[in-house]
Amino acid sequence: VYGPSGVGKSTVTRHLAARTLAEESNRAVVPVIWVEARPGDYGTYARLDYYRQVLTALRGHAAVKDRLMQVALTPRPGRKTIDAAEALDLREAVEYALERLQVKAVVIDEAQNMMQVQAPLRPLDQLEWLKSMTNHTQVLHVLVGSYDLFEFRNLNGHAARRGRDIHFSRYHMEDKDERREFTGALHYLLSHIPLVCGVDSLLKERWWFAEWSVGCIGILRDWLVETVAALLAEGQTTLTREALQVHALQAGQRVRLEMEARAGEQRVEKGKAAT
């Protein structure tokens, strides 16, 4: 799942994971885990943070508690790293927990960070590792991140065959259907604002909202929240276009986000044309 910054990828996948967990009636089953790949976890131990987050999420469950509590999630005192044997113990513990708790999917947010490995590891090695984890546990891995994931997913034909792409794109106002959907999303957000708000008049500014949110619903939501919070703190009671303009992205920020989104969209379109 890839798309531009602020389009709502993380929010949607986090909510889907939470809803899936809430709908599971069997408390002994954990259908999905949501983790975040963080930059800085490079080198030989590039996967340790994944292991630690999965084990932290699962180790409190009775079915695996005894086994997982024996696994060290941090280096031994006096050492800065975990050795190969300890890393293997972590992997085996993760595989055991995933199988025992019947996990169906692990969602990895900011997954483009998994590409940032140092020699001797390569980005392709990360995909091979994920393939091995999937084969051994039958757990689907959902990678969520920036457009860099498009290249990550297509490093070779074998990797491309084993995955499915979901392009989480921004709204394009020149498209009639997308313009209607963006307007509907804007109406929903405006109708839930706890201030006096001329919804109909603000909806007439939908092109302006789309321009300054770069067509990304996450940016639009954050913009509205920041504006409303500032107005409430000042004791104001009305949401105006002028107040929204004050809290909009800086022109340079908007241009940068627009450029990155356009570049990513072109990469995806070029990749589709090549196939």
H helices then E strands: how many in the chain? 13, 5
* pLDDT at residue 86 in the model: 79
* pLDDT at residue 194 in the model: 95
Total residues belonging to the chain? 275
Residues 115-171 pLDDT 10s: 877 777 788 888 888 888 999 999 999 999 999 888 887 777 776 777 889 999 999
User: b/e string for 60-72 if b means 16 or more Cβ within 10 A?
Assistant: ebeebeeebeebe
Check whether 9 has a pLDDT greater than 90: yes
Confirm if 182 and 194 have CB atoms less than 8 A apart: no
- Output the pTM of the full model: 0.86
Residue 218: what residue type? G
Check whether 68 has a pLDDT greater than 70: yes
DSSP element (H, E) containing 54 = helix 48-58
Q: Is 225 helix (H, G, I), strand (E, B) or coil?
A: helix
* pLDDT at residue 43 in the model: 52
**Rounded Cα distance, 132 and 141, in Å:** 11
Residue 79: what residue type? R
Residues 97-114 pLDDT 10s: 999 999 999 999 999 888
Mean per-residue pLDDT over the chain, rounded: 89
Rg (CA), the chain: 22
Residues 176-189 pLDDT 10s: 999 999 999 999 99
How does residue 252 score in pLDDT terms, banded at 50, 70 and 90? Answer: very high
65-69, 191-195, 245-249: least confident range: 65-69
How does residue 274 score in pLDDT terms, banded at 50, 70 and 90? Answer: low
**Rounded Cα distance, 58 and 9, in Å:** 24
Check whether 81 has a pLDDT greater than 80: no
Q: Which range scores top for mean pLDDT: 36-45, 86-95, 134-143?
A: 134-143
Residue 182 Cα to chain centre, angstroms? 21
64-68, 83-87, 121-125: least confident range: 83-87
How does residue 76 score in pLDDT terms, banded at 50, 70 and 90? Answer: low
Check whether 257 has a pLDDT greater than 90: yes
Check whether 77 has a pLDDT greater than 60: no
- Better pLDDT: 37 or 189: 189
